[in-house]
Structure formats: structure tokens, C-alpha cells
Amino acid sequence: MKKEAISNTFNEVLERRLSRRTALKGMLGTTSLVAGATGIGVLAACKPNKENIVSPPLEFQELPHGYDTTHHVAPGYSADVLIRWGDPLLAEAPDNFSGGAIDAESQKKQFGYNNDFIGFQPLPIGSNNSDHGLLCVNHEYTTSHLMFPNVKALDTQRESTIEEVDIEMAAHGHSVIEIKKQNGRWYLVDGSKYNRRLTANTEMEITGPAAGHHRLKTSEDPTGRKVLGTLANCAGGVTPWGTILIAEENFQLYFDGDQVKADEKAPGERRGYGLFNAGYYQYRNHDPDLTEEELANQQPELKGKRAFYRWADHYDRFNIEKEPREINRFGWMVEYDPYNPESIPKKRTALGRFAHEGATIVAEHGKQVVAYSGDDGKNQFIYKFVSKSKYDKHNRSANMELLAEGDLFAAKFHPTGVGEWLKVELQESGWASPAFTKLKDQAEALIEARLIARLLGATAMDRPEDIETNPLTGRTYVMLTNNSARSPETTDPANPRADNRWGQIVEILPPGVDGDRDHLAPHFQWEMFLLAGDPNHPNGGKRGRYHKDVSKDGWFSNPDNVAFDPDGRMWISTDGFPKNLTPEGLDAPVHDGIWACETTGENRALTRHFFGCPVGAEMCGPCFTPDGESFFVSVQHPGDTPGSDYSNPSTRWPDFEPNNPPRPSVVAITKKGGGKIG
């Protein structure tokens, strides 16, 4: 079938799907075509979707689009700053942030920078308490020009000091915070025994198939089983056995050095994370057999640049000439127990190595566990991990190593609404690529997961970020943020727009009916939930697509993270809205924030604007308490706009004190007078 015919068929189906708001009725007529063509036999495994689970309608008054120096929430709600970068966390932590003054020893005991993922774990353990618990928060990266005086944005040639690097390393990682709700507001529990900081120097254990492999051994760790720290922790996950998962995303930005010299010690260690010249890493989204010279010629703008972070200037483990295999010890999912401050975090290599954007767990008593994860890169893939052992809801200790062993799969989306999971493993024949002639075992397949997925024929997606499963329906949703690198020749029904600056949300439906879906199945059905962007764009091919009644404030761009409230309604955070807007018809930029909608029924994909960030900030980490009456969000890199720096930021949110720089913070949202959010 010609590509044009496939696209036209899909567009017709999408049009019916978006206008009629039915579940798969438009897709089911084409399922037999794909099943017969691919030999999957999906139709027999998939039951008709009854769409019998409908959430209560959203009732909040919608927030207008805007863009200014502070945050905004829908009328009738309170949005209180709970904790900020530099606030004391451990009992002995100093409260010395006034004027932005901070040092590495203090930062190790204080709340870190650029908070992202948030997970809420009730206290006591095993309860469903919504008024007392542990808030578990990632610190993805540092923004040096908003942290330190005399640093300019994007100056990768500057010489960093060891004092700056030590502060940055201490500001990365993760925080655990005990919190309580009193009289309708949330407060920190001072000196809590649970409070904890994980940093770029916290000792961690490597587990699973790659543990002890020669490609993870370094001069400091000849066992290949111990590693210092975790980096670039973007999204994450919460397990039903009470542990937290934190993702290692853009880890390649931290490593510098000369590749030629590094390859003399350990050839080929950087497949999939191409090193173009003197230490400047970028994702390799193309032919793995291209030489570094060919890559550099394709992207001349990278010539002469250095790594984004300058940690290698002071610490050899980030210098690939001196430690060429240290980079292989990052790019994993990390699991730790927040209820045990002495527990050692574990890197779970069975879930594969790539730019992880979280891991969402689906678990049913007596069955294997599923973890969904996205690789946050342009033209990268969606993954599913299936554990070897089964989940026991009555025995926490029996579940603590569920993520140590299992199988990893990458998703292939067929044009007519059917998908399959391809096992990430080496094949005996059919791969002529010289980049893979030296791969020997499954550990190496997991180290090179993204390139194995490409050779398997998985579908290259428009930056897969957060993936979450609706706990009521069992449908899984993928946030595809954008992809300016997609050409017209490489579009497909799951990624239908070239130069995609707006993103989309794809819905995965495992076999079964809502509330009873088989996530272990090797195949699924899928459909487009919505296309983000301006629904009134003058170019119809670039137009956003939502429910027909979406308001002038209800549309958004660049979906990033997602959460579901207890009633199964979707809450979407955005990243890049101000930068990726189309100018037609807009009087001013629009802030990133939160939009909410129902996923079934007559109001499916009718998105409504709930929260707006201050200028320059990204919205991250949406998280509900079990009762749905509290909603936590992360405001990341406030004030980070062109020309903004420590001395002259575009906002001084949230303190608005003349000597303080902007401070990334967690915001706690509650309904005035009490009640469920939404």
C-alpha cells in the first residue's frame, strides 16, 4: 500500500474518531487488514471496547492563557509554594540562602535544583493516607547562569570552577521530604527521619543483566557493580510495593573528552550517543554506521563546542579519555526505598539503557509486572518491560527485586491502529551493521537498547516523554512532546506532522475492555488521542485537534508529563509552549502549565486550562494524593528566557526579593474550602 493511501485512510479514521468521540469504532474496520498482513492475529485477542467507564465532568472555571512573572491557578483553588531550591531538608541543614549564597556542603543537605518528577508515598507505609506522607522529588539538572553570578547562558566555552561544579553535583539527584496537611494546607516536617538527599555522588548498586559486565567496569570500580550518583533525573514512577523509580535522561551531556584517545582504550563505547568532536555529545538519531567525521559534516554547527557540563575539568570519571566506560553506568532506571533512608539505590539494567523518561508500573496480584518507559529523544522509541517474577500484593519483601530480571520490548505502531511489542535482544542473522558485529550477549543488547530497537524496526517517535496508564480504564497514554527533525518523508500515522513543534498524545489499548486490559499481551491497538497546537492554525496540516468544543484557552502545545486523578481524568503538563507557538492570531506568548480533560465519554479530549507557570518556567511532576484533594506540581527553571541571568532574571519568582535569583519550587494545590481537585 502506498504511503499516501495509508495516510489518507488514517486521516479519515482520525477525523471520525475526533468528531464522534467513540472508542475504536473507526479503527476496528481496519484491524483485520493489518492482522492479516503482519500475521499478528490481533483481532481475536482484542475484545470490543465497551467504553463503560466514564469519569465525572470537570467543573473548575478555566484559567485564561497568559505569560507573566508569577504563577496562576484556576479560581477557587489555592497554589502554595511548599519547598524551594536551597530550603533546608536534613536536620543539620543551614538556612543560608539569603541573597543566593550557597555552598556545596550546604547544598547536599538542602532541596536541590530544577525539581521535576513528584511521587507521593503515604505514611504509614501501606496506608491510603492523604494527609501525611513522603514527597519524593527529582532534581533533573542545573541552570548555571541562574545559579551563579557572572555566568552567561549557553556559554559552553567558559572555565567552570571546582566550587561551582561541586554545588551543581550536590544540587542534582533526588529529595525525600516528609509532609503533613493541617487545616487545609501542607507543611514540611522539620528534622524528619525520612528526609534524604540523593546526589551525583551517592553510592548506588548496579543490578540485572549488565551488572558486572566488562563494559561497566572502571578503574574506580573494577567490579562493574558500584557507581557514584545519578544524573539528569527527569520523570519517574511509584511502585505498588512502595518504592520510587527515578529516570536517568540526558546523561550524555555530562561527559567530555577526546573520542580518538578514548577509543584507544575502549573502542565503540559511544554507539547511540555520538561524540562529534572534543566532547560534545548529541543523540544519534540516524545511521549508526556513519563515521564521526560524516556526522560532524552533517551538523557543522556543533564544531568546536564542548560538553554542556564541565565536570570533566575537575573529575576524571566524566572524562572519556580517562574513564571511557563510565558513561555506560548512566542511562538506567534507579529504584530506591523512601521508607528506609539507609537503603542503597539500585540501577535496574533489565529496563534498558537510553534517555529514560520515567517508568510507569502496571501490577496485578499473581501476574508479572509491566513497566512502560519512553526514550526522550527525537525519533526514539517507546518501551515495555515485563518482569520475570510475579507481583504479590501481600508480601512487600517478595516484590523488592521484581525489576531486576525480565524482558524488554520496543513498540511498533502499524498504520491502521494495531501495534506489536518487539523483544529487545540480539538476533543471530539479518544484521549487517558493523556497529553490532561485536555485541556478544543480552547485557550489551540492553546497553545499546535504542540502536537494537531501531534495527528491530520499532517506530521512531516524536520525543516520547511521560507514559502513564489510566488506573480505571487500563488505557495507556504517551506524551509525544515535539520533533522539529521529522521530515515529510518520515511522517507516519502515529507521528503525522513534519517539523512537529507542538506534539501529540497517543493512546495505547492493550487487549480487553476498559478496566480489564491485558498489558502482558504481545500486541495492542492504538489511536491518536489529540494533536497539540493551535486548533485555528491557518495551515490545516499543522492544526491542533481536540474535542470540537475546546475553548480559546483550552488548547496547548508540547505535552510532557501526565497524571490521573482518582476519577480517571487526565492532567497534562507542558514544556516548550512559549518557544514553539505559531505566531498567527496570538497577541503574546503563552505560559507552560497544566491542562485537564476526560478520556472517555462525550467530553473526551475536551482540554481545560488549570495552572500557569511564571515566565521562562516549565511545568513538571503532576501528582495527586490518593483522595484527589491535593495536587503537587513542579515549577522548573523559572526566569530562564533569552538574555536572563543571575543578576537580571526575567522573574524573581517565588520570593520576589531583589537579591534572590528565581528558585525552582514545588507547589501544593488545594481547593478552597476542601474537596477534590477538578
- Ordered DSSP codes for 519-537: TTSSEEEEEEEEE-S-TT-
CA distance 312 to 124: 42
Q: Is residue 10 scored above 60 in pLDDT?
A: no
When pLDDT is cut at 50, 70 and 90, the band that residue 580 belongs to is confident
Return the H-helix or E-strand segment holding 560: strand 559-564
Percent of the chain with pLDDT over 70: 82
* pLDDT score recorded for residue 138: 98
Strand order through the sheet with 72-73: 72-73, 608-612, 593-597, 570-574, 559-564
CA angle (181, 468, 357) in 5-degree steps: 95
Q: What is the pTM of this model?
A: 0.90
665 bridge partner residues? 84, 635
- Dihedrals phi, psi of 558, to nearest 5 degrees: 65, 60
Q: DSSP for 626-670?
A: TTSSEEEEEEESTT--TT--SSS-S--TTT--TTPPP--EEEEEE
Over range 397-405, report the average pLDDT.
98
- Range with lowest mean pLDDT among 171-185, 212-226, 587-601: 587-601
User: Is residue 642's pLDDT more than 80?
Assistant: yes
Cβ distance 546 to 567 under 8 Å?
A: no
Alpha helices in 46-114 (DSSP H): 104-107
Tell me the mean pLDDT in the region 17-35.
36
Under a CB-based contact definition with an 8 Å cutoff, are residues 224 and 216 in contact?
Answer: yes
Closest among 329, 258, 251, 323 to 292, alpha carbons compared? 258
Q: What letter represents residue 41's amino acid?
A: G
| Amino acid 256: pLDDT | 85
**Does 264 score more than 80 pLDDT?**
no
CA 533 to chain centre: 20
Residue 146, pLDDT score:
94
Percent of the chain surpassing pLDDT 90: 71
Query: Mean pLDDT across the stretch 318-323?
Result: 91
Higher pLDDT, 585 or 606: 606
Residues 191-221: b if buried by 16+ CB within 10 A, e if exposed: ebebbbbbbbbbebebbbbbbebebbbbeeb
> Residues 6 or more apart from 309 whose CB is under 8 A from it?
165, 168, 253, 254, 256, 318
Task: Read off the DSSP letter of residue 562.
Answer: E
Strands 593-597 and 570-574: antiparallel
User: Quick one: pLDDT band at residue 439, thresholds 50, 70, 90?
Assistant: confident
Q: What is the pLDDT of residue 99?
A: 66
Number of neighbours of residue 549 by Cβ within 10 angstroms: 9
Closest listed residue to residue 359, CA positions, set 339, 331, 333: 333
Please check the confidence at residue 523 and state whether its pLDDT lies above 90: yes
What is the mean pLDDT of the segment spanning 583-606? Answer: 86
More confident residue, 175 or 269: 175
Q: Which amino acid is at 123?
A: L
Span 482-490, mean pLDDT? 93
What does the alpha-carbon distance between residue 275 and residue 278 come to, in Å, rounded to a whole number? 8
What value does the mean pLDDT take over residues 145-172?
87
Q: CA end-to-end span of the chain, whole Å? A: 45
Question: What is the rounded CA–CA span in Å between residue 112 and residue 524?
Answer: 40
Looking at residues 420-444, what average pLDDT do you find?
Answer: 75
Residue 289 confidence (pLDDT)? 42
For position 95, what pLDDT does the model report?
84
Instruction: State residue 433's pLDDT score.
Output: 56
In this prediction, residues 544-566 reach a mean pLDDT of 97
Query: Residues 6 or more apart from 528 whose CB is under 8 A from it?
Result: 14, 17, 18, 493, 494, 496, 504, 505, 506, 507, 545
Contact between 288 and 451 (Cβ < 8 Å):
yes
Using pLDDT thresholds of 50, 70 and 90, give the confidence band for residue 373. very high
Reported as a pLDDT band with limits 50, 70 and 90, residue 158 is confident
- Band of residue 204 on the pLDDT scale cut at 50, 70, 90: very high
Burial class (CB in 10 A: 0-12, 13-18, 19+), 173: buried
Residue 389 pLDDT exceeds 60: yes
When the pLDDT of each residue in the chain is averaged and rounded to a whole number, the result is: 86
Asked if the bond preceding 654 is cis, omega within 30° of 0, the reply is: yes
Rounded CA gap, 145 and 142, in Å? 9
Contact in structure between 238 and 369 (CB atoms under 8 Å) = no
pLDDT of residue 269: 67
Q: What is the mean pLDDT of residues 489-508?
A: 96
Torsion, Cα 94 100 101 106, to 10 degrees, reads 40
Alpha carbon of 604 to those of 57, 75, 548: distances in Å? 10, 23, 10
- Beta strand extents in 391-469 (DSSP E only): 406-413, 418-423, 461-462, 464-469
**pLDDT at position 43 over 80:** no
pLDDT band per the 50, 70, 90 thresholds, residue 464: very high
Higher per-residue pLDDT: 32 or 385: 385
pLDDT value, residue 648: 92
Position 360 pLDDT exceeds 80: yes
Surface-to-core class of residue 235, CB atoms within 10 Å of its CB (0-12 exposed, 13-18 middle, 19+ buried) = buried
Between 440 and 14, name the one with better pLDDT. Answer: 440
Q: With 90 as the cut, is the pLDDT of residue 84 above it?
A: yes
Q: Which of 612, 624, 498 is nearest to 554 (CA)?
A: 612
- Determine the angle formed by the axes of helices 3-20 and 25-38, rounding to 10 degrees: 150
Cα-Cα-Cα-Cα torsion 420, 426, 431, 436, nearest 10 degrees, comes to: 130
Q: Report the pLDDT value the prediction gives residue 297, as an integer from 0 to 100.
A: 47
